[in-house]
Structure 1
């Protein structure tokens, strides 16, 4: 069972969506992840939102002209995504066993994004397998972007994967570190408790 399932019971889709809706109404920017990704690849690029949750990132990128696919294991989150954007392809899958071919989609994404603490909330011990699966969904030269907390202040669960472990998993999957930031606004990484990492597949 994933840490996310242990934390939420797989029933928090509506609550999660309501929280972000309230943030948006208050004037908070809730599209930093989509804006970050849009700066990396041009409109029209294929984007996989891995651990898409309620679809916030994929839906915004689709609005900006990207060809988006969302994948998540939590039915309650996917129900919200499908309600808000029924025209987009949403798939239920465990990222540790993610196989685009089994879902009938091409494994040639220009960018895969894992936002919202996806990696720290995976089932313990599956992180390297997930990196390998996501790397396998990229076209040559494609990008894997992952943002996640590294300490208790940035996570709802005890810290799990560390950056050296994540980088090692990426290297083993044929991905090279391109850049690392402290926020989705591309602030320079300073060794703090949150990191957004960009890795590239071999051309």
Structure 2
């Protein structure tokens, strides 16, 4: 998320960490698969890949990706969410930061995959979305992947109406040098179709400059 009165902060007041963690703990206890995003990303990666979880929240996905053999860094602007992540996985790298100023964190820009799940893009501060996409693209190595998940209607968002359309998002990605590779309707890989309420998108950077 971002620190410029992003929509997440407006919804939660920056105090949602423990409640968010309890919600997913209850889902896991009831038998729901809460690791769909990690499984999806792992299918795109080789072992020991570098992953940036942008808007990592309580660290649920980054922790699971580490368990699956990857090297994950989590970034979020909400201290209450990061407090849970640091408690649950103190050995992992958790950074407090605004995605619109991701470059200020001094990260090595050679991630194999950058993940923005959990409606990160729709919950950014209005007007910052193109800049954030550029920052996420800059964190990737040549050939790296940006994976995003976002609701496209009120039924799939914690908001009364959508804030981002797919054509807008694809345009921001194109401006950042990214090309759409795949798009699905769920993290389990169900086919995307026009009008479905959720989109999981995989955009990629060219492997080399000559591929532009």
**TM-score normalised by the shorter chain: which range applies?**
over 0.9
TM-score (norm 1): 0.98
Shift of 1:90: 0.3
Alignment of structure 1 residues 75-154 onto 2, 5 Å? 75-99=79-103, 102-154=104-156
Measured against aligned partners, the alpha-carbon deviations of 1:111-167 in whole angstroms (never above 9, x if no partner) come to: 000010001110011111110000000000000000000101100112101100000
Instruction: Name the SS for the 1:170 alignment partner.
Output: helix
Q: Tell me which residue corresponds to 2:210.
A: none
Q: Tell me which residue corresponds to 1:17.
A: 21
Unaligned runs of 5+ in 1: none
Q: Tell me which residue corresponds to 1:183.
A: 186
For the residues of structure 2 that align with 1:97 and 1:12, how far apart are their CA atoms? 23
Q: Tell me which residue corresponds to 1:61.
A: 65
Q: State how many pairs are aligned.
A: 201
Q: Tell me which residue corresponds to 2:44.
A: 40
For the residues of structure 1 that align with 2:155 and 2:35, how far apart are their CA atoms? 21
Which residue, 33, 37, 43 being the options, matches 1:29?
33
Shift of 1:105: 2.6
Determine if the alignment matches structure 1 residue 49 to structure 2 residue 41.
no
Q: Tell me which residue corresponds to 1:167.
A: 170
Report runs of 4+ in structure 1 exceeding 4 Å deviation: none
For the residues of structure 2 that align with 1:4 and 1:84, how far apart are their CA atoms? 22
For the residues of structure 2 that align with 1:200 and 1:66, how far apart are their CA atoms? 19
Q: Tell me which residue corresponds to 1:8.
A: 12
For the residues of structure 2 that align with 1:93 and 1:199, how far apart are their CA atoms? 23
CA-atom RMSD in angstroms: 0.7
Shift of 1:72: 0.3
Instruction: Name the SS for the 1:71 alignment partner.
Output: strand
Shift of 1:71: 0.2
For the residues of structure 2 that align with 1:85 and 1:104, how far apart are their CA atoms? 22
